[in-house]
Chain A
Amino acid sequence: MTTTALSRTWKKPPFIKSPLVRWTLWLLAGIYVALAFGTMDVDWGRVAEGVPRGQKFLASFFPPDFTGRWAEILDGLNESIWMTITSTVIGIAISIPVGLGAARNLAPKPVYLACRGILAVSRSFQEVIIAIFMVKLFGFGPFAGFLTLSIATVGFYGKLLAEDIEDMDPGQAEAVKATGAGWFQWLNYSVQPQVLPRMIGLGLYRLDINFRESAVVGIVGGGGIGATLNTAFDRYEFDSAAAILLIIIAIVMVVEYTSGYVRKWVQ
């Protein structure tokens, strides 16, 4: 490097090249945010009233009462766990063929489109909406909850399985194909080893989600611990409700830690 050379300046090129477009976009975004806040009508009087009411409400949660409604809590928990496990198993079982069909590098175009369609439909509604629908169809109780969570699991697991298959290393798949393996042998020897660890992890994650969702689904009539929680609120038994909430938190934490551990182990 010679010292006589002029030093050239360098700046990171902006994401949007034209300065006019860039600044107009900023301006529009600013105006929109200002307007959005402007339409939000906050009644400070009601906020002031609500704060002490909230304090009273929270205070009635303590001390949590585990014993008063223990039998009902146990029933609800039982139902919830049953719902969680069956819906996870069935949901994953259904999502494997759908996920295989929804992977572009495995399936021909028509199968791909059909399977992507199934996934899109089952993902487009939130669990609560499906649950309301299922309760209308099959009546109150855990069966409606089970169906809801199964459908949600298919959407979640099938999509992630398909994406994981699409991301796999084509070299390994090609090598197994070159040996003259059949399609199922090829799946078993080249696709499965590549996606299995992540899929086990996601299965456990889904188990954890399904347990949490089982509480929400119960509130709209899908049975389980959610139904028990809803009853407790309806009867103003906030101390029992607090006990239920604490139990849900504890179970979610247990599942969370075990799934983290198992995921590390299967890698």
Chain B
Amino acid sequence: MLRLDKLVKRYRTGDLALKGIDLDIPDGQVMALIGPSGAGKSTLIRCVNRLVEPTSGQVRLNDVELTTLGQGQLRKARRRMGMIFQEYALVERLTVMENVLSGRLGYVGFWRSYFRKYPQSDIDEAFRLLERVGLDHMCDKRADELSGGQRQRVGICRALIQDPELLLVDEPTASLDPKTSRQIMRLVCELCAERKLSAIINIHDVLLAQMFAQRIVGLQHGEIVYDGPPDGLTPEVLTQIYGEEDWEATIEKVEDEDELADSDDEPVDGSADPQGPELDRDRLAGLT
């Protein structure tokens, strides 16, 4: 559904951030993009919705070539790509509800959005989504009153209310604690499964990437150096992506921490399955 063809980005400073990326993401696939800082992960996903203009190459979303669209068409295309950000990027002085509804800006006219008179169907959907992430009772709070995990969940709602086909997720867990990080990743992956969305998730945390993604792409200096299943990440591969380091511990930890998280999340019946569809509302609302 998303196809990148020889995508190149050269910044005005002369830095070559992407060196001809070819990538094909089928429907419903959750792909994690890993790599060291400065490898071009952020640039790559921003080239897809053209928050960063690619220098050359093609980006096709369901056979629509995005790189040549005019402003109006680009706006229409952006509606189909929801984006989730590292520092949540909520508009802090707007309420939770306004932030969620801002995901509909591409669909409603200026005056409707100015007077906050959204169609009832949008408001229903906003409440449905907020309920789904356990925040419907917070709808009139200002975004800057929320905790990090709560903010990221509002960010997720904002992306999903766009009714996207693709999620672009930029370091969703970088400013969250380890437990909230897992909850957020789990939520994103569950929602992708529910709605049959594809997703590109930029992530620093190799463990989280392995736990939640179906496919891992490793980026280094603007080039893809690994593309394969999560369990293909051997120490050799990680060395290739990140450089020399003792990777044994990182890889072994996956199983250890998994068990640890289970016992820690659900101490009573211990039935929690990190990838399971059942959601505990309190846990999601950040109350535990």
A110 an interface residue at 8 Å Cβ cutoff? no
A178-B78, A179-B102, A182-B75 are known contacts. Are A189 and B91 too (CB-CB below 8 A)? yes
Contacts of A180 in B (CB 8 A): 75-79, 105-107, 162
Give the residue name and chain of the B residue nearest to A194 (CB).
Answer: B93
Measured between beta carbons, the chain A residues less than 8 angstroms from B114 are: 185, 188
Q: Chain A residue with minimal CB distance to B84?
A: A175
Contact yes or no, A197 B93, CB < 8 A: yes
Nearest-Cβ distance from residue A211 to partner chain B, whole angstroms: 29
**Of the residues A175, A184, A185, A194, contact of B83 by C-beta under 8 Å:** A175
Q: Scan residues 171-216 of chain A and give those whose CB is less than 8 A from a CB of chain B.
A: 171-172, 174-182, 184-186, 188-190, 193-194, 196-197
Q: Contact between B105 and A178 (Cβ–Cβ < 8 Å)?
A: no
By the criterion CB–CB under 8 Å, are B75 and A172 in contact? no
> In the complex, are the beta carbons of A176 and B105 less than 8 A apart?
yes
- What separation, in Å, do the CA atoms of A175 and B85 have in the docked complex? 8
B173 touches A (CB below 8 Å)? no
A228 to B158 alpha-carbon distance, docked (Å): 59
Residues in B95-143 with C-beta less than 8 Å from chain A: 98, 102-107, 110, 113-114
Contact B81 A178 (CB under 8 A): yes
Once the chains bind, are B79 and A176 in contact (CB under 8 Å)? no
> What's the interface size class on A, roughly?
20 to 34
Are B79 and A179 neighbours in the complex by a CB distance under 8 Å?
Answer: yes
Interface residue? B51 (CB, 8 A): yes
CA A169 to CA B94, docked complex, whole Å: 14
The interface residues of chain B, by DSSP majority, are classed as mixed
Residue from the list A169, A174, A184, A189 in contact with B102, Cβ < 8 A: A189
Q: Given A178-B78, A179-B79, A180-B105 in contact, is the A189-B113 Cβ separation under 8 Å?
A: yes
In the complex, the answer to whether A185 meets B105 with C-beta atoms within 8 Å is yes
CB distance B102 to A181 under 8 Å?
A: yes
Q: B-facing mask of A19-43, CB < 8 A → 1, else 0?
A: 0000000000000000000000000
Interface residue B92 (Cβ < 8 Å from any Cβ of A): yes
Minimum C-beta distance from B115 to chain A (A) = 10
How far, in Å, is A197 (CB) from chain B's closest CB?
A: 7
Q: Is the CB of B91 within 8 A of A194?
A: yes
Q: Report whether B85 and A171 are in contact in the complex, using a CB–CB cutoff of 8 Å.
A: yes
Known interface pairs A178-B78, A189-B105. Does A184 touch B110 (Cβ–Cβ under 8 Å)? yes
- Complex: A172 Cα to B87 Cα, angstroms: 9
Contact call A193/B158, Cβ cutoff below 8 A: no
Central interface residue in B78, B89, B106, B155, by most chain A CB within 10 Å? B89
Q: How far is the CB of A1 from chain B (nearest CB, A)?
A: 29
B113 engages A175 (CB within 8 Å)? no
Contacts of B76 in A (CB 8 A): 180
B92 touches A172 (CB 8 A): yes
The answer for the CA separation of A177 and B102 in the assembled complex, in Å, is 10
Task: Report yes or no: B94 in contact with A179, Cβ–Cβ below 8 A.
Answer: no
**Which residues of B pack against A, CB within 8 Å?**
49, 51, 75-79, 81, 83, 85, 87, 89-94, 98, 102-107, 110, 113-114, 155, 158, 162, 168
The 14 listed contacts between A and B (C-beta, < 8 Å) are: A174-B89, A175-B85, A175-B155, A176-B102, A176-B105, A178-B49, A179-B83, A179-B105, A180-B77, A180-B78, A181-B113, A185-B105, A189-B105, A194-B92
- Which residues of A are interface residues toward B (Cβ below 8 A)? 169, 171-172, 174-182, 184-186, 188-190, 193-194, 196-197
Given A185-B114, A190-B91: 6 more A-B contacts, CB < 8 Å:
A175-B155, A175-B158, A176-B91, A176-B105, A179-B162, A180-B79
